[in-house]
Amino acid sequence: MKDPHPTQRGPASAMIAFVVALAAVFLLAFGPVDALAAEPAAADGVAAGSYAPAPKLTAADYPTIAGINSRVAVWIFAQLHLWFAAFVLAVPIFVFIIEVIGMRTRDKRYDDMAYEFIKVAITAYSLTAILGGGLLFSLILFYPHLFTYLSTIFSASMFYYALLFFAESAVLYVYYYGWHWLQGGFKKWVHLSLGLILNAVGTTLMLLANAWLTFMMSPAGVDAAGVFSGDAWAAIHNFLWNPINIHRFVANIAYGGSIVGAYAAFKFLTATGNQEKAHYDWMGYNANFIAICALLPLPFAGYYLAAEIYAYSQQMGITLMGGIFAWLFIIQAVLIGTLFLSANYYLWCGMGRSDGAKRYTKYIKYIAIVLIGAFLVWFTPHTLVLTNEELKALGGPHHKILGPLGIMPAKNTAVNVMIIFTALSFMFYRRANKVATVSWVNAGNAIQVALFTTGIANIMFLGIYHGYFTNTVYKVAASIPQVLTTVAVIVGSITLDSFIYRGAKEVGPLHWGRIPGRAQYALFLLAVSFTWLMGLMGYIRSGIRQHWHVLDIMRDASPDAFTPTLGYAANVVSVAAILFMAMVIFVFWIAQVSGSKTLPAGYWKG
């Protein structure tokens, strides 16, 4: 039944629905938190302050199951849960944005793509829950005293966490199954509001869970013996809570984009017919775009997290970056370099969709050289772990020439340069299909070049002068203006380009589907590297607590309390990553099998 005046009743009732949705968002996001803050201490009607100190455990207090390594079990369940959780939190974010774009442009392709994204994710939700259950069981079975301690402190938030899943499931199912029902005018606003609520609930779930794990790293609301003060909010918003919240929120988006990109890449390679190819090429481009947008601010979120870890505990900070975990960050550098190179490579290949790209292809090799150079700087270690003979041969723990490239200012410079040049690649991609018509295009381009030149020069100045000619305090402080310079260059150049290309002519319609097959492998590389990197980082975050369940408060006395070698950790991450890939393939397969029909001849009666 078609509504003849879709936009007339819409606005008023839509606004009411939207306000109701926003109110629901606020209630969900902040209601439980307020209740927690007001909550006096726990059970049995006992007065506040009557909690026990953290238990002092011995090896006998950790139950075992024959043939299962407790630590590895919890590790793998947790990591698998995290991967899926990141995915199912990220997808609603960009689905919401894409739905909005569709509503504004009234281009149905966006709505269809949004629907396809959420369809891919739907099976992932139950896997997230299953793995969460597995994690919970293994924690209770293998680390019962730790779990008792944590659940005493976080009893309220854990209960609300469980309740929120009712909201999450209800909203998700109506959102997904009702996608084609809630179409047009008012209903579309309702649908969009459901998407907003889905995001709010999902984000709240993440915030609550983040509180528990950050409490283990930077406990708050407890005294030195681990006696809980009764203030649940203090325990929740501990020192590292917000840094992890920010980092995970942004990283989830980048990660979700990369996984969906892998899906699109595969569908592209197996597409039959040009239309299908074009559709999945477009999808892959959008997914990569989402991933890059979130990837650009991510190093800053990570740097902020590391800085806060340092600020909380210099010891933990130094273990993280100067001690035994330092080499992990060299592996991280390799992975991030891979991420940036694949994302850029995909963009460069994608330029071929436009007939006007030829004007910019000559610059690509320079961007590639800069990116590879920056990557090599980032990947250079500072202090080398050497045997005595090697030390004598080298004349010290650092390489005389390359060693200086390994210090943090050099790395900060490298990453800022990588980010700027990735943004540049993206600008070239966007420009490839446009011809500017404004009169001042030459001046505009000149200013763009000036902006990039001075920005890069400033980053180099801050990195080299403050990095090599001052002291530690200046070195660290200079990284802030470096970041701000990068942000200024990106925001400035995008803004300027939007003016330069006002009313620009299109060179021609983009040839979606005209992209080499190897570009799809860049998307696979992006997804796999991202997954492995997340696994590595998850290990580091958990591992820097070393032999503590709750830092400085509850010692880990289990037989597995030792910090494993890097190789061992990498192997566990790899096994988990392979398990994850298998599950994701299952998720993708389910997404399309629901559309398959078999017509068995002669099977059914009549």
Which of 478, 482, 497, 359 is CA-nearest to residue 423? 497
* Positions 332 through 371 that interact with another protein (CB under 8 A): 334-335
Candidate ranges 67-75, 100-108, 182-190, 469-477; the one touching another protein (CB under 8 A): 469-477
Candidate ranges 68-76, 135-143, 353-361, 481-489; the one touching another protein (CB under 8 A): 481-489
Using rule CB under 8 A, residue 437 touches another protein: no
| Residue 83 CB, nearest approach to another protein (Å) | 13
Cβ within 8 Å of residue 209, ≥6 positions away:
85, 161
Place of tokens 């694949």: 342
Cβ within 8 Å of residue 476, ≥6 positions away:
307, 408
Which of 528, 538, 540, 539 is CA-nearest to residue 580? 528
Residue 549, helix vs strand vs coil: strand
Using rule CB under 8 A, residue 494 touches another protein: no
Q: Which is nearer to another protein, 61 or 355 (CB)?
A: 61
Cα–Cα dist 91/256, whole Å:
6
* Positions 550 through 579 that interact with another protein (CB under 8 A): 551-552, 555-557, 561-567, 569-571, 573-574, 577-578
50, 105, 274, 498: which one binds another protein (CB under 8 A) = 50
Using rule CB under 8 A, residue 89 touches another protein: no
Q: Which is nearer to another protein, 112 or 276 (CB)?
A: 276
488, 504, 507, 590: which one binds another protein (CB under 8 A) = 488
Q: Which is nearer to another protein, 74 or 93 (CB)?
A: 74
Using rule CB under 8 A, residue 460 touches another protein: no
Q: Which is nearer to another protein, 69 or 315 (CB)?
A: 315
Using rule CB under 8 A, residue 48 touches another protein: no
Using rule CB under 8 A, residue 184 touches another protein: no
* Positions 99 through 158 that interact with another protein (CB under 8 A): 145
37, 324, 349, 394: which one binds another protein (CB under 8 A) = 324
> What's the distance, Cα to Cα, between the start and end of the chain in Å?
34
* Positions 268 through 297 that interact with another protein (CB under 8 A): 269-270
Cβ within 8 Å of residue 545, ≥6 positions away:
216, 217, 316, 551, 556
442, 495, 498, 594: which one binds another protein (CB under 8 A) = 442
* Positions 377 through 436 that interact with another protein (CB under 8 A): 384-385
Candidate ranges 112-120, 416-424, 429-437, 518-526; the one touching another protein (CB under 8 A): 518-526
| Residue 265 CB, nearest approach to another protein (Å) | 8
Candidate ranges 126-134, 196-204, 298-306, 440-448; the one touching another protein (CB under 8 A): 440-448
| Residue 105 CB, nearest approach to another protein (Å) | 33
327, 402, 430, 511: which one binds another protein (CB under 8 A) = 327
Using rule CB under 8 A, residue 304 touches another protein: no
DSSP per residue, 117-176 = HHHHHHHHHHHHHHHHHHHHHHHHHH-HHHHHHHHHHTHHHHHHHHHHHHHHHHHHHHHH
Using rule CB under 8 A, residue 216 touches another protein: no
Residue 554 pairs in a beta bridge with 550
Q: How far is CA 7 from CA 181, 184, 265, 395, 578, in A?
A: 18, 9, 37, 76, 49
DSSP element (H, E) containing 4: none
* Positions 185 through 214 that interact with another protein (CB under 8 A): none
Cα–Cα dist 209/230, whole Å:
19
Number of residues lying near another protein (CB under 8 A): 93
Cα–Cα dist 359/357, whole Å:
5
Backbone torsions φ then ψ of 4, nearest 5 degrees: -70, -25
Q: Are 277 and 270 in contact (CB under 8 A)?
A: no
| Residue 532 CB, nearest approach to another protein (Å) | 5
DSSP element (H, E) containing 9: none
| Residue 552 CB, nearest approach to another protein (Å) | 4
Cβ within 8 Å of residue 47, ≥6 positions away:
41
Q: Which is nearer to another protein, 179 or 228 (CB)?
A: 228
